[in-house]
């Protein structure tokens, strides 16, 4: 397993996805995760994501130095390179002009990250940073520089860092660079999403067998997928609830019911349109409308759920990216 330590980059999900595409199981963890926690679960490597901060910002997210002492290869990307430099005693300063967009780097030394499978020493890459490394930490060698002469790659043993983003398509050979890091880690390329599906089915079956539950369904991908999955496992003991709040598109409720009919879902349709519209009468502020709709939905859903005898659990469909993206940088996910 490779873990991606998230420092708030918009591209963190890209990193994880690229690694998974090579068949390596990957998890994203917040930057404040302890080294002991990061080490769990057969850890084979660590990637430090980018981020929008300067390492000298008072609110800059920083990981423990112990992360680098876990005995596995590490790859720092963009902010990850700058953080590594700061932790190990290198020097960083603000660039006169922020580097954003296409750039070129020269690979200066033979190394296992930027050479195998590439066979070029001048690469087009994608940059997005405002700080530059003036002096590498002691014992770190410079393995690449940008066309402006700035340090673009560092290495010390199996700890690597690059100032560009190999996880985006704009970087030539970006996937190959990430695959090279996987090879450095010696990571097992046997992960298959179907294995997760089988595990989920087993776990859910053990937990919910013989129990009655409810869940909201809207006709969207998330709620429909989880409803179909749970229905396959527990059958008629699962009761999805569709609330028509009167604010849907014309005939949308009927379309949802028709589209899901073939999956054998016993959907409980609640026509609460008049109720919602009465609550919204005379309200013009958009935020107030959203608040009213949210509270009323909860009330309607709970009333319907109480009618289902023996209901003891709630099913919620949430995408993995939502778990990460909806969490403030300094807080834990409640999902």
| Per-residue model confidence as pLDDT tens digits over 136-177 | 999 999 999 999 899 999 999 999 999 999 999 999 999 999
* Given the residues 44, 86, 99, 167, the one annotated as active site: 167
SS3 195: helix
Which of 89-103, 174-188, 229-243 is predicted with the least confidence, judged by mean pLDDT? 89-103
The pLDDT of residue 329: 57
DSSP 248: S
Alpha carbon of 290 to those of 129, 272, 276, 277: distances in Å?
37, 16, 11, 12
Whether the Cβ atoms of residue 162 and residue 144 lie closer than 8 Å to each other? yes
Which token pair is 123? 């690469």
* Given the residues 44, 78, 129, 173, the one annotated as active site: 78
The pLDDT of residue 333: 42
pLDDT digits (tens, 9 = 90+) for 273-302: 999 999 999 999 999 999 999 999 999 999
The pLDDT of residue 129: 81
Whether residue 185 lies in the annotated active site: no
Q: What CATH topology corresponds to 2-185?
A: Rossmann fold (3.40.50)
CATH class for domain 193-325?
Answer: alpha beta
Whether the Cβ atoms of residue 332 and residue 14 lie closer than 8 Å to each other? no
Neighbours of 190 (CB within 10 A): 9
Which token pair is 292? 């009213």
Neighbours of 298 (CB within 10 A): 12
The β-bridge partners of 311 are 212
Whether residue 102 lies in the annotated active site: no
Q: The pTM is what?
A: 0.75
Rounded mean pLDDT of 35-39? Answer: 93
Alpha-carbon gap, residue 214 to 268, rounded angstroms: 10
pLDDT band at 335 (very low <50, low <70, confident <90, very high): very low
pLDDT band at 74 (very low <50, low <70, confident <90, very high): very high
Alpha carbon of 168 to those of 10, 139, 178, 276: distances in Å?
11, 29, 11, 44
Fold identical between 2-185 and 193-325? yes
Rounded mean pLDDT of 174-193? Answer: 95
* Given the residues 129, 150, 165, 173, the one annotated as active site: 165
DSSP 283: -
Which positions ≥6 away from 331 have C-beta within 8 Å? none
Whether the Cβ atoms of residue 256 and residue 244 lie closer than 8 Å to each other? no
Mean pLDDT, the chain, rounded, equals: 91
Whether residue 150 lies in the annotated active site: no
Which token pair is 133? 């490394």
pLDDT digits (tens, 9 = 90+) for 308-329: 999 999 998 777 666 555 445 5
Spatial strand order in the sheet of 74-77: 26-30, 2-6, 45-48, 74-77, 159-162, 151-156, 141-146, 91-107, 122-135
Segments making up each domain of the chain, as ranges: 2-185, 193-325
- Angle at Cα 260 formed by Cα 255 and Cα 264, nearest 5°? 145
């Amino acid at each position: 397993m490779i873990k991606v330590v998230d420092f708030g980059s918009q591209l963190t999900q890209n990193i994880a996805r690229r690694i998974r595409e090579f068949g390596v199981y990957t998890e994203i963890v917040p930057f404040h995760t302890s080294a002991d926690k990061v080490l769990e679960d057969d850890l084979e490597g660590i990637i430090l994501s980018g981020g929008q901060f300067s390492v000298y910002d008072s609110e800059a997210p920083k990981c423990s130095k112990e992360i680098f002492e876990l005995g596995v290869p590490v790859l720092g990307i963009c902010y990850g390179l700058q953080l590594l430099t700061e932790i190990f005693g290198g020097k960083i300063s603000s660039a006169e002009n922020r580097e954003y967009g296409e750039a070129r780097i020269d690979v200066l030394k033979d190394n296992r990250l930027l050479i195998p499978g590439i066979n070029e020493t001048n690469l087009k890459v994608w940059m997005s940073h405002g700080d530059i490394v003036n002096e590498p930490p002691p014992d770190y060698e410079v393995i690449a520089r940008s066309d402006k002469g700035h340090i673009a790659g560092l290495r010390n043993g199996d700890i690597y860092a690059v100032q560009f983003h190999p996880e985006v398509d704009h970087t030539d050979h970006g996937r190959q660079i990430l695959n090279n890091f996987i090879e450095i880690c010696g990571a097992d390329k046997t992960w298959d999403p179907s294995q997760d599906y089988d595990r989920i089915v087993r776990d859910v079956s053990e937990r919910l067998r013989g129990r009655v539950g409810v869940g909201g369904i809207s006709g969207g991908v998330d709620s429909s997928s989880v409803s179909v999955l749970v229905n396959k496992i527990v059958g008629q003991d699962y009761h999805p609830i569709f609330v028509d709040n009167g604010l849907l598109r014309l005939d949308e409720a009927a379309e949802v019911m028709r589209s899901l009919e073939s999956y054998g879902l016993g959907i409980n349709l609640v026509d609460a349109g008049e109720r919602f519209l009465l609550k919204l009468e005379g309200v013009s502020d958009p935020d107030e409308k959203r608040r009213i709709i949210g509270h009323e939905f909860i009330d309607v859903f709970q009333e319907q759920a109480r009618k289902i005898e023996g209901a003891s659990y709630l099913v919620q469909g949430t995408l993995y990216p939502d778990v990460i993206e909806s969490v403030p940088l300094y807080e834990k996910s409640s999902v």
